[in-house]
Structure 1
Amino acid sequence: MKRITLVLTFFLGVLLLAGCSNSKDKAGDSDKKGEENTLRVAMATEIDSLDPFKMTAGDTETIMDQVFDGLFDVDTDGSLIPDLAESYSVSEDGKTYDFKLKKDVYFHDGKKFGAEDVLYTYDAMAGLTSKEPLSSKFAIIDKIEVVDDLNVRVHLKERQNGFIYLTLRPIVEKDYKDNGSKPIGTGPYQFVSYTPGEGLKLKKFEDYHKKDHIAHFENLEVIRITDRQTMIMALKNKDLDLADRISAEEADQLGDACTINNFPQNLVQVMGLNNDFKAFQDKNVRLALNYAIDRDEIIESAAEGKATKLFSSFSPALKEYFEDLGEYYPHDIEKAKALLKEAGYEKGLSFKLTVPSDYKYHMNTAELIQAQLQKVGVEVTIDPIEFSSWLTKVYKDRDYEATVVGFIGYLDPVQILGRYTSENEKNYINFKSKDFDAAISNAEKASTKDEEIKNIKESQKILAEEAASVFIADPDNNQALRKGLTGLNQYPIQKLNLEDVKLENE
């Protein structure tokens, strides 16, 4: 008896992810019903932490969103919709937020959710109950008041337009200390077990507060799967039902065996340049690399033409904030050579390109870049490492020269671009620009939408002008679905919603 399985695979790992789901048998066939009670999801990367206070990787956060809820969630059009909060209001000066919470919400251990849980979570994130904030974004919080069991007031130190988007972050149970080993949330699935290197097991939460969105599956298994061809064959054989963020090449391999969804994903693929590395301290070298790299070839070869070319760290998915830079760095080998000569590298330059090996798309891109840069006398050594090691070595310790990776987008434009401010803990490229810092600060505090947009666009220009790194493209997402699988929605941010997906009659 073949077990029907759902698998989601992650390939663009980025600081990134995917989704899937199955349905109950309505005909009453006991064998088939048993087959359809387990939804299986495959991850190419290791879960970096079960604790929402410590999660870093976008893949991990998206999977753990099945366990946790925030005060608000995001709809398919990018708008915010109520989750644990019913509504909110903001003071005229933009510094005070009042949240009305949803009643009759329970954690997986049966305890009732309320204002004290929000206080506990935001206090910890803002560093109000510890030596330093767990997230620099929450450091804007001055104090939090519990008005009553279902009302919370948050006071900010100063106006910050993007604060409301922080309410997407998970709310944890007050004083619960075991989220690192046995996480407890209010989401549609509850924790069962986790085995490093093997996977995560969850089960349906029958008392989920969204009564019209109780999960269709009794069990959800997240399995670490790294072999891409094994995944392709399983999809063809209907042993798997869904793979998200597969490459265009893999989508072609599947042919008519699956339904393929293709859509923009609000992601920036970049060759990140460590601006503290001696060669990259010279702007002319960074400019040379931007002219030497052929973005069109990368898009055609790695994404089969399904990507949007970029010259700054911002996707056109957020249309009103996007600055169209045109052909800012046209492919020009002779200009690249001249810039390298001016920088003193006429006889050649070499550097190491550290790439998360879990992600085929980034590895393919790295190989193309290696060949392209050889044409201008630049020798690139590709250093493949697992994404878990990449997070430590590159993202946290900044112990690298260059890297190829993808960064997921957010609804808040400042959150997308703010990582490149001089003192930001996530400024992995060590970029420093007073003008850029000022533009981001002005966008955060802008009193009008027009002023905010103006500064966001200015910050994109500065990243391009300074050649902070080589921003390449926003590749489309490809989802492979078993025919008959329905209810899988797409969002303008990395999000996996497994509540409403089900397998209809094929």
Structure 2
Amino acid sequence: MSNTSRSIQQLSKAASIFLISALALAGCAGSPPQSQSNTAASGDITSSAGGTLRVGRMSAVTALDPATQITANNAFAIDKVFESLVSFDADGSIIPWLASEYAISDDGLTYTFTLRDGVKFSDGSELTAEDVVFSLERHKDLGDESPLPLAGPIDSITAQNDTTVIITLSSAYTPLISELANFSNGIYPANFGGKTEEEFFQNPIATGPFVVDQWDPNGDISFVKNENYWQEGKPYIDSLVYKLVPDDTQLQQQLVAGQLDVIDHVPYANVSELESNPSVQVLTNKSWEIEQVFFNTQNEYFADEHVRRAVAHAIDREGIVNAVTFGTATVANSLIPPTIEYSANGEGYALGFDLDTAKAELAKSAYPNGFSATLSIKSGNAALAQEAQIVQQSLAELGITVEIESLEAATFSSKVYGDYNYDFMINSGQSDSADPDGLVSFQADPEGFSKSYWTFYTNDEVTKLLHEGRSTADGEDREKIYFDIQKIMAEQVPYIPLYYTSAVKATTDSVEGLTVLPNGSMLFQDVLLGQ
């Protein structure tokens, strides 16, 4: 979906994993959580509250339906308006949210949620169990039409009374609680409050801290505070504006000039410079993100496993990390980041840099003399451009000619995610929860929405294992399943893991109380703006 200054490399696995086991929990309860933020709000909040927070972002918000979106440009606007039964904090721990408590039966088949008292929608109407049932049923019924489907074996979602929701499963499904924390399971009024679906999501009503004010799908979006928000007195700011600035250099310049209060992307090369600026704060947190090279396995060249293995051996991942990330990231050796349980990063499964082995692999392929291919990246990101150039130079050693195609974000999404019209690309894989199933399913399930992250990678053994991983209780057996998946995928290389990122944001020194989450989103309800 917080701002410790340690790098991912410094985080131990035990400290960074806070996954809740559905079969181990008897129940969980809590009061409204307090944010973990860059600067604790202090003093007279009433006199300090108010103002407009200006946030620079590289992509516009194009849609606000929680159940049908996945990209960060939309997800991190949706989660300011919609909230879910449970959520996660800056450490990745699952926490009660719209539900004040929940309980899981001993057999793992019945989940009972008690709604928090006094929660209202932004129009002042009361949140009821029927609203929750409607929202979750709609999401479930979308099936694989939803990029983040409510995919568990759900028999029923029912309202026991106005404040109690019961989800019944036909078989155990370990990731359920983690999935319910996703923005995709945001709650809205039953029957869309009497509006059509299209009308509703143009100006949605929900329980979150902010309400959409004005929205240009090709530009900026502005929000105002939800006067009926259930956390009393919050949000402290009056309004929030997402300003479109599709270039990371411009983002930094506008922040330093005071034209923006927050930027959601900080170029790795500029972290030290910003940290030395007394008017700027750089905020970092551990991340569920991994930078990767993705192959379209329908492409004639990259359908050949030997070609993919050759490319993987030809790329110096450590060299990329040193050249591009300036110490803000660590080399990736597995699909699952070490911030998520059952990461095999320490096993060293990823193919290492070895040019001789790369040439030998290419010699085994159907294209021993090389070929030409296009590498697609999103424009406006200096690190991506540099990574692409390193890949281009590396593959030239194999006789593979690479043309770099730099595309504006919307065009990239349309070409890659819509038309599958690419050879290979550099992009990031981002988990939306702390359960390993989220990332593995999105990148390895050929039956899912993304068709294995638009690579069309298919392996029957991996498919079998990922289904087993969903139904196996947390512990050694589940760990072995995910280790086996990561080993197979490292050898067949539908992706090349490059590095694990940190979530890095920057603000002016007047911003207090901002929380950075491990999915790359930010919480703004505790933000105060100094004078």
TM-score for both structures, normalised by structure 2: 0.84
Determine which of 523, 526, 530 is the counterpart of 1:497: 523
- 1:500 Cα deviation (Å)? 1.3
- Structure 2 CA distance for partners of 1:191 and 1:463, relative to 1, 3 Å: same
Unaligned 5+ residue runs, structure 2? 1-36
Determine which of 97, 100, 103 is the counterpart of 2:111: 97
- Structure 2 CA distance for partners of 1:134 and 1:226, relative to 1, 3 Å: closer
CA distance in 2, matches of 1:339, 1:139: 38
Determine which of 82, 104, 108 is the counterpart of 1:68: 82
Alignment of 1:90-169 (within 5 A): 90-127=104-141, 134=146, 137-140=149-152, 141-168=154-181, 169=185
CA distance in 2, matches of 1:52, 1:290: 36
CA distance in 2, matches of 1:361, 1:347: 30
Kindly indicate whether residue 249 of structure 2 is the aligned counterpart of residue 229 of structure 1. Answer: yes
1:142, 1:155 within 8 Å by CA — same for their partners in 2? yes
CA distance in 1, matches of 2:337, 2:143: 36
Say which is worse superposed, 168-177 or 258-267, in terms of deviation: 258-267
Query: Which residue type is aligned with residue 167 of structure 1?
Result: L
- Structure 2 CA distance for partners of 1:205 and 1:135, relative to 1, 3 Å: same
- Structure 2 CA distance for partners of 1:387 and 1:461, relative to 1, 3 Å: same
- 1:84 Cα deviation (Å)? 0.8
- Structure 2 CA distance for partners of 1:225 and 1:24, relative to 1, 3 Å: farther
Alignment of 1:60-459 (within 5 A): 60-127=74-141, 134=146, 137-140=149-152, 141-168=154-181, 169-176=185-192, 177=197, 178-211=199-232, 214-254=234-274, 255-257=276-278, 258-326=280-348, 328-409=350-431, 410-419=433-442, 420-426=444-450, 427=452, 428-459=454-485
- 1:358 Cα deviation (Å)? 4.1
Kindly indicate whether residue 454 of structure 2 is the aligned counterpart of residue 462 of structure 1. Answer: no
- 1:360 Cα deviation (Å)? 3.1
Deviations 1:277-299 (A, max 9, x none): 11112111111001001111211
Say which is worse superposed, 387-396 or 86-95, in terms of deviation: 387-396
- Structure 2 CA distance for partners of 1:45 and 1:27, relative to 1, 3 Å: closer
Deviations 1:23-64 (A, max 9, x none): 9996999xxx89x61111122112131222222212321222
Q: CA-atom RMSD, angstroms?
A: 2.6
- Structure 2 CA distance for partners of 1:160 and 1:20, relative to 1, 3 Å: same
Query: Which residue type is aligned with residue 457 of structure 1?
Result: F
1:88, 1:100 within 8 Å by CA — same for their partners in 2? yes
Partner of 2:8: none
- 1:114 Cα deviation (Å)? 0.7
Determine which of 64, 77, 80 is the counterpart of 1:50: 64
- Structure 2 CA distance for partners of 1:497 and 1:132, relative to 1, 3 Å: closer
- Structure 2 CA distance for partners of 1:20 and 1:64, relative to 1, 3 Å: farther
- 1:95 Cα deviation (Å)? 2.0
Aligned residues: 480
1:126, 1:135 within 8 Å by CA — same for their partners in 2? no
- 1:98 Cα deviation (Å)? 1.2
CA distance in 2, matches of 1:253, 1:456: 39
Partner of 1:5: none
2:52, 2:238 within 8 Å by CA — same for their partners in 1? yes
Partner of 1:9: none
- Structure 2 CA distance for partners of 1:28 and 1:400, relative to 1, 3 Å: closer
- 1:133 Cα deviation (Å)? 5.8
Deviations 1:159-198 (A, max 9, x none): 2100112222211111113233111111111111201222
Say which is worse superposed, 364-373 or 132-141, in terms of deviation: 132-141
- Structure 2 CA distance for partners of 1:488 and 1:495, relative to 1, 3 Å: same
SS of structure 2 residue aligned to 1:180: helix
CA distance in 1, matches of 2:139, 2:45: 48
Unaligned 5+ residue runs, structure 1? 1-18
CA distance in 2, matches of 1:173, 1:423: 31
SS of structure 2 residue aligned to 1:384: strand
CA distance in 2, matches of 1:126, 1:479: 34
- 1:227 Cα deviation (Å)? 3.2
- Structure 2 CA distance for partners of 1:229 and 1:60, relative to 1, 3 Å: same
TM-score for both structures, normalised by structure 1: 0.88
SS of structure 2 residue aligned to 1:414: helix
Deviations 1:192-238 (A, max 9, x none): 120122211111112211126x0121111111112333322222223
1:58, 1:408 within 8 Å by CA — same for their partners in 2? no
- Structure 2 CA distance for partners of 1:136 and 1:306, relative to 1, 3 Å: closer
- 1:115 Cα deviation (Å)? 0.7
2:252, 2:266 within 8 Å by CA — same for their partners in 1? no
SS of structure 2 residue aligned to 1:367: helix
- Structure 2 CA distance for partners of 1:499 and 1:136, relative to 1, 3 Å: closer
- 1:315 Cα deviation (Å)? 0.8
Query: Which residue type is aligned with residue 518 of structure 2?
Result: P
Deviations 1:432-484 (A, max 9, x none): 11111122111111134222222122211111021122111112233223225
- Structure 2 CA distance for partners of 1:281 and 1:166, relative to 1, 3 Å: same
1:91, 1:97 within 8 Å by CA — same for their partners in 2? yes
SS of structure 1 residue aligned to 2:473: coil
CA distance in 2, matches of 1:203, 1:296: 44
- 1:384 Cα deviation (Å)? 1.6
